[in-house]
A and B are shown apart, each in its own frame.
Chain A
Amino acid sequence: MTVQTHSNAAGDGGLRAWLTTETPLSRRQARLGRAYLGWLTFTRNKLAMIGLGIVLLLVVMAALAPWLAPYDPYTQDLSNRLMPPSAANWLGTDAFGRDILSRILYGSRLTLMIVALVAVTAPVAGLLIGTVAGYLGGWVDTVLMRVTDIFLAFPKLILALAFVSALGPGIENAIIAIAITSWPPYARIARAETITIRKSDFINAVRLQGASKVRIILGHVVPLCSSSLIVRVTLDMAGIILTAAGLGFLGLGAQPPAPEWGAMIATGRQYVLEQWWVATMPGIAIFVVSLGFNLLGDGLRDVLDPKG
């Protein structure tokens, strides 16, 4: 990789020169320099930066919701219901006179929670199933992959709907349902990677040192598969948000009065012609955040994916 000179104002010249030197004095400096070059590649992608900005904004919004929100998201003010956007209520009020801006701010917490919980469960399950199937092969592979195929045969939202209806509506069950429906693609990716890895010499080398199958899968195969999975997860986050909002919209996700964005759209549906802002504002929030995650994922793939 060549050393790039960038004229943006990130840090002073001394630090940048230290990071981009061609003759690093220590390993730490070399590693930091590599990370910095990766960061430069990332920042050159304008859209990815916008995505990063949106996601960071979402995190800040969620963290500071109690301080940023002008009103309590649950306080009803029936004399003030369905007010259009104004100086007092920037994004208007809903059917119970609750401030929509405050509800969107608090709703970002729910959105982030869903994304985070699904992102730590589904890929882990998919990774385990995929690596076990790929490494052991034979009938284990056949059984696990046919189960995966069955899950993949249903549209994601329909399957999630079925699970939530069976488990009962609620945000926890929505998260479980989304996780259950989103592991199969990860299992497929992990299995494909494992099959290319399992025949390699270094796996033979640990085998002939007497390592057990569990040790090989967890210690040697899983770390090698995870980079491509991480990239895939960031790209899938928008899908997770949309599924969660879809479940909320159908009344199967977060329950009222929780300020979940999908549920907010559902309640605004009946006023959509006269009081358009009730449904539109949370809709814009979902749109912007999904876009942000997609742009960020795309940019991360360019930087992280070794095959890119």
Chain B
Amino acid sequence: MTNEKPLLEVENLRISFPTRTGVTQAVRGVSFSVGREKLGIVGESGSGKSMTGRAILRLVPSPGVVTADKVSFQGEDLLTASEKRLRDIRGRRISMVMQDPKFSLNPVMTIGAQIAEAYRVHSSAGKAEARRRALEMLEAVRIRNPERVYGLYPHEVSGGMGQRIMIAMMLIPNPDLLIADEPTSALDVTVQMQVLAIMDELCSKRGMGMIFVSHDLNLVASFCDRILIMYAGRVVETCRASELHEAKHPYTRGLLDSLPRLDDTRPELPVLTRDPAWLEG
């Protein structure tokens, strides 16, 4: 962890969904803090990693109920903040890149208009200024012909380009914290690294904090500074990315063991066996 005061502190976060057959607990008592660093949250499907990201921005879909002892962002309590105050925080100070650009861009607005809107929501800039900034931002995410792309509709660009556009849209108000919810899982492997490199470069240049949610252990290990490993709504282990291979929790060990390696000598890959005791953390 960095020495300075953390950007975001979360203590004992719980998210539950009351259903007809009882209460489903998606997240059960998660605590962590993020400074100006890259924090990876890894876990399998349904482990509550995406929900944790959404709960920070209070975007958990109804009927989800969020409770926590503390969710504070730069000293401000996000749990009790008014809807109006939250609107100022969303986008301007914390923003989020979502999984699939195909669904996260409005199909009937041009890309330029969407990026410019993202900028204008949080500043009093005029149309021309917003356009200039949007073009700059498109260039920053390495789009070769920003003028042309500005006028395109989302269906006219590729998935990798769409995700870079999404990143441009989320970074244009210059937030302090970026939550990336599996930003590369809808992309080809070749494009994944390019998108990650852009995110990495922009985040470190601006000194932003980042929460990177993914199910890809290796990707997170190579990309992030620190890793939280989640299982069934709990954090089972926290470690530095560089020390991931020394992880102690049997779940993490099981995950690591089940990955194939190029220099593998094992005749068979072990299958992860789950221990009910892990549920209790």
The residues of A with any CB-CB pair to B shorter than 8 Å are 27, 199-212, 215, 219-220, 223-224
| Given A201-B100, A204-B98, A205-B98, A210 contacting B107 (CB threshold 8 A) | no
Chain B residue at smallest Cβ distance from A227 = B108
Question: Please, could you name 26 A-B residue pairs with CB atoms under 8 Å apart, sorted by A?
Answer: A27-B151, A199-B61, A202-B104, A202-B105, A202-B107, A205-B104, A205-B169, A206-B106, A206-B117, A207-B59, A207-B90, A208-B57, A208-B59, A208-B95, A208-B96, A209-B90, A209-B169, A209-B173, A210-B86, A210-B91, A210-B121, A210-B122, A211-B121, A212-B87, A219-B109, A220-B109
Residue numbers in A under 8 Å from B104 (CB-CB): 201-202, 204-205
Residue numbers in A under 8 Å from B173 (CB-CB): 209-210
Residue numbers in A under 8 Å from B91 (CB-CB): 208-211
Contact A210 B98, beta carbon cutoff 8 Å: no
Residue numbers in B under 8 Å from A27 (CB-CB): 151
**A199 to B62 CA separation, bound complex (whole angstroms):** 11
Residue numbers in A under 8 Å from B105 (CB-CB): 202, 205
**A210 to B103 CA separation, bound complex (whole angstroms):** 18
Residue numbers in B under 8 Å from A204 (CB-CB): 59, 98, 104
B88, B109, B173 — most chain A CB neighbours (10 Å): B109
For the complex formed, measure the closest distance between the CB of B204 and the CB atoms of chain A, giving whole angstroms.
22
Chain B residue at smallest Cβ distance from A138 = B62
Question: What 9 A-B pairs come out closest when comparing CB atoms?
Answer: A209-B91, A210-B91, A201-B103, A210-B90, A201-B104, A210-B87, A205-B104, A202-B106, A208-B96
Contact A215 B121, beta carbon cutoff 8 Å: yes
Main secondary structure of the interface of A (DSSP, over half): helix
**A263 to B88 CA separation, bound complex (whole angstroms):** 59
* Complex partner residue of A200 from B61, B87, B88, B103, CB under 8 angstroms: B103
* Complex partner residue of B118 from A200, A209, A224, CB under 8 angstroms: A209
Contact A210 B88, beta carbon cutoff 8 Å: yes
Residue numbers in B under 8 Å from A207 (CB-CB): 59, 90
Chain B residue at smallest Cβ distance from A199 = B61
Contact B117 A219, beta carbon cutoff 8 Å: yes
Residue numbers in A under 8 Å from B169 (CB-CB): 205, 209
* Complex partner residue of A223 from B103, B108, B166, CB under 8 angstroms: B108
Residue numbers in A under 8 Å from B100 (CB-CB): 201
**A215 to B61 CA separation, bound complex (whole angstroms):** 20
**A212 to B84 CA separation, bound complex (whole angstroms):** 8
**A223 to B96 CA separation, bound complex (whole angstroms):** 24
Chain A residue at smallest Cβ distance from B99 = A201
Is residue B28 contacting chain A, with contact meaning CB distance below 8 A?
no
**A205 to B95 CA separation, bound complex (whole angstroms):** 9
Residue numbers in B under 8 Å from A209 (CB-CB): 90-91, 95, 118, 121-122, 169-170, 173
For the complex formed, measure the closest distance between the CB of A263 and the CB atoms of chain B, giving whole angstroms.
43
* Complex partner residue of A224 from B89, B99, B108, CB under 8 angstroms: B108
Residue numbers in B under 8 Å from A219 (CB-CB): 109, 117
**A220 to B99 CA separation, bound complex (whole angstroms):** 20
For the complex formed, measure the closest distance between the CB of B169 and the CB atoms of chain A, giving whole angstroms.
7
**A211 to B91 CA separation, bound complex (whole angstroms):** 9
Residue numbers in A under 8 Å from B151 (CB-CB): 27
Is residue B92 contacting chain A, with contact meaning CB distance below 8 A?
yes
**A208 to B122 CA separation, bound complex (whole angstroms):** 12
**A212 to B166 CA separation, bound complex (whole angstroms):** 19
Interface string of B156-177 (1 = CB under 8 A from A): 0000000000100110010000
Interface string of B97-131 (1 = CB under 8 A from A): 01110011111110000000110011000000000
**A231 to B100 CA separation, bound complex (whole angstroms):** 31
Which residues of chain B from 42 to 60 have any CB-CB distance to chain A below 8 Å in the complex? 57, 59
* Complex partner residue of A205 from B61, B107, B108, B166, CB under 8 angstroms: B166
Chain A residue at smallest Cβ distance from B118 = A209
Contact B88 A223, beta carbon cutoff 8 Å: no
**A211 to B169 CA separation, bound complex (whole angstroms):** 13
Residue numbers in B under 8 Å from A199 (CB-CB): 61
**A223 to B114 CA separation, bound complex (whole angstroms):** 14
| Given A223-B108, A223-B109, A210 contacting B89 (CB threshold 8 A) | yes
Chain A residue at smallest Cβ distance from B94 = A208
| Given A205-B104, A205-B105, A223-B109, A211 contacting B166 (CB threshold 8 A) | no
